[in-house]
Structure 1
């Protein structure tokens, strides 16, 4: 049983009314207010963070997980000669096995014992790749040309993880919930830091006394000290992806002459953007996603696919220009299109580049890379690389993986602490406290500023206050259940 005679904020029995002296001083009362916000925010934040952390961990390790699960498709035996077939020969072998297919992209093998990954579409010509649901990843042995098999990129473990991570696989509604949960995660982190600082003495005493639940609370607070920093960083770097804030912030940036993305200065046509040309299973550098794709120069009606430079010619040109491997090559969609070669530079965002090559002459039509990004696009690109655990190579991946595990621990430890101290009867056992301008002016102003900067969060904040004032405080059973001060 918790000792209610002490005024330590963390040792106050939440089934009793707050200590009046502490409330007047703004100490224990403000602590309980922050605790209350932390408690109720968790109902939205914990499910969102649990999904984000678990799916993020899977996606982070996708290059290790998928080859283990699909070794028969993704791994090959290296012959003693070590000689690979040309990409055009591999493509011919693929189309022989899939005569009705159309190659949408080819990804170079990342290592000698890896197969070549072809994106194959059976959709009607002209269908944008980003809405092509027929895309399949077909794997070819680069040494023999044997077609090893296919996968639906949306139905792999990492495919499910990616789709869950973006919107819970629930369309726009899921994307809004995800964004709202990320916004409230900021509140969780800030209130958590306040509680860590104000409650440190009480936690130390309870741990020394070996009080029930003290060890778990200490771990929750200590791990949270580090998780909060990463959480704030990941939320900030993930906001450009969000359905509402990301879109509105990009509109604002565009009106000021800048952009989250960058425009391709070499694009002269009204062709689709690069991210609309690339199959959804392949990554496009963030800064290049909205760059438009130019046309081939000097095309002639008498020319045919036999006159094209092919995948090998495109890669040879890209090699001369110094693009990073492994490259992704997108073939022309029609007689006016280009070969677009993407050097993603996975661990080095500053080296990523896209080269558009005339399909008949093999001459570069346009090249667009990190150096052409605007300042804002460079910052966002670096932030996203950090978010995806690839900015600093293996070290970044290891730290990001540990962070995901720590977040999952926090998502379990929090509800477990509540379960152990939950009261009997019709009550949630929520901490009792009320935020006021007099008791916490900085907190009130900060909350308003956060609501203005993140309007979706601000709208939810208005809804929470309206529910509190118009419903919870006026209906006695609800007032008691939610422990309204």
Structure 2
């Protein structure tokens, strides 16, 4: 997408009648960038903010982490009931262990497709704040980053852009790979005194060389959240039996909402089951409110879990069916630190404890990748490395736009013109098929692009000239 109008002598050696010639790769690089650049900038900016989620959320929650608590604390059951009363018609999803002795209790409750975070004073039971989880600043950034606030359609659009961004990075590496090892100028450092044209070209190339590997990692590790690829991954998890374990990431907005609704229905069923034994049986299900002591066992669960030192945040959940077990988990962003517990509803004893090492191979690989993607795998340096990559991608994108704007000719898009028609290549077919299978959105869109170009765009002279296509 961003080289000089004339091919260099080294590049000319690669100009042969095949799909792997320099100019053809250049064209695919150009079109991939044309599609991806707006998304790359958007994802870089929103992703940079999300990298610092822990610090931002601690800053925003400062008023609720420095309370004056002098007397005896209320029971956890009473705190839960206060939170439920603040959101009428809700059911308990999670009780979050307080971060510090001075912290307000966070109780996450659900109603229909919504979740609410209720901040409760642990002594007075005063409700300090009620906020819809989808309205929390970092949740908004997460949805802006992953789905453009458009739900599953936005998730699929981001996935499509990410797939083509992978093509953009790989073709860029091919174009700028040094053909002569002794000439590293313009490859690993920018030439500052050879004019604007050389400066912008070097800035684009050198930035690409430094950040491409990190960019590919971020693009690939972001795919599990995507609606299409994430569903694809669910099927792959069956290969090693991982599908028998619930995955701890959602795939698209509909998956998240379905999970919330299922928790509401399950929790209500569990609580109703505890009350139905005292109800008149009328031959049909009666919707009864939970008894006042429905969540009484939670204090036993907290006594067990609090002493384990699990990574923050630690969430405790009620049974989802009558007579079921309580559960607790560490929901840390550094996923290798996560643990899941099954607790006895009568004694609070641990019935089962599953750590990260007990999860399936696919889940462990995804978990490590996701933790690194979010900047939480190895502390502040992970965050700074992600920020470095995001800044590099913005530089890469803006320098590409400048290069295109400076080299474009009047009346045409500016894509590299095809010198000759490339011949059929089985190597390309195998490569494209492999990428299409791994990235289904890329494969489908690639077929559509090729068909439209071959049977529509090349048939229209004005369009063919504007796009720089050869005649059929």
Instruction: Return the TM-score normalized by structure 1.
Output: 0.76
Q: Which of 359, 362, 378 does residue 364 from structure 2 map onto? A: 378
Q: Do residues 398 (structure 1) and 384 (structure 2) align? A: yes
Contact 2:343 2:349 survives alignment (8 Å): yes
SS of match in other structure, 1:473: helix
CA distance 1:260–1:240, shift in 2 (3 Å): farther
Aligned partners of 2:102, 2:406: CA distance in 1, in Å?
52
Cα displacement string for residues 202-227 of structure 1 (whole angstroms, at most 9, x for unaligned residues): 84799466222322322222221232
Q: Do residues 104 (structure 1) and 93 (structure 2) align? A: yes
Structure-2 residue corresponding to 1:422: 408
Q: Do residues 247 (structure 1) and 231 (structure 2) align? A: yes
Q: 1:457: Cα distance to partner? A: 1.4
Contact 2:156 2:228 survives alignment (8 Å): yes
Extract unaligned runs of 5+ from structure 2. 248-254, 264-268, 279-289
Q: 1:187: Cα distance to partner? A: 0.7
Q: Do residues 343 (structure 1) and 334 (structure 2) align? A: no
SS of match in other structure, 1:190: helix
Q: Do residues 225 (structure 1) and 209 (structure 2) align? A: yes
CA distance 1:387–1:185, shift in 2 (3 Å): same
Aligned partners of 1:440, 1:197: CA distance in 2, in Å?
22
- Count of residue pairs the alignment pairs up: 440
Q: 1:40: Cα distance to partner? A: 0.7
Instruction: Return the TM-score normalized by structure 2.
Output: 0.78
Cα displacement string for residues 417-442 of structure 1 (whole angstroms, at most 9, x for unaligned residues): 21222222x20111223797769875
SS of match in other structure, 1:428: coil
Cα displacement string for residues 218-276 of structure 1 (whole angstroms, at most 9, x for unaligned residues): 2222221232112221232233333223323432442x353367269xxxxxxxx9996
Structure-1 residue corresponding to 2:467: 482
CA distance 1:66–1:307, shift in 2 (3 Å): closer
Aligned partners of 1:24, 1:189: CA distance in 2, in Å?
21
Q: Which moved more, 1:221-230 or 1:193-202?
A: 193-202
Structure-2 residue corresponding to 1:433: 418
Q: Do residues 147 (structure 1) and 127 (structure 2) align? A: yes
Cα displacement string for residues 349-396 of structure 1 (whole angstroms, at most 9, x for unaligned residues): 334222222333424444433243122222222222222221112221
Structure-2 residue corresponding to 1:262: 245
CA distance 1:206–1:178, shift in 2 (3 Å): closer
Q: 1:304: Cα distance to partner? A: 5.5
SS of match in other structure, 2:456: helix
Structure-2 residue corresponding to 1:287: none
Q: Do residues 137 (structure 1) and 117 (structure 2) align? A: yes
Structure-1 residue corresponding to 2:283: none
Cα displacement string for residues 418-470 of structure 1 (whole angstroms, at most 9, x for unaligned residues): 1222222x201112237977698755643343123323212211111112211
Q: Do residues 456 (structure 1) and 441 (structure 2) align? A: yes
Contact 2:339 2:354 survives alignment (8 Å): yes
Q: How does 1:79-478 map to 2 (within 5 A)?
A: 86-95=75-84, 97=86, 101-111=90-100, 114-121=103-110, 123=111, 132-133=113-114, 135-142=115-122, 144-198=124-178, 203=186, 207=191, 210-254=194-238, 256-259=239-242, 262=245, 301=277, 306=293, 308-319=295-306, 323-333=310-320, 335-347=322-334, 349-424=335-410, 426-433=411-418, 445-478=430-463
Contact 1:105 1:278 survives alignment (8 Å): no
Q: Do residues 12 (structure 1) and 5 (structure 2) align? A: yes
RMSD value over aligned CA atoms? 4.1
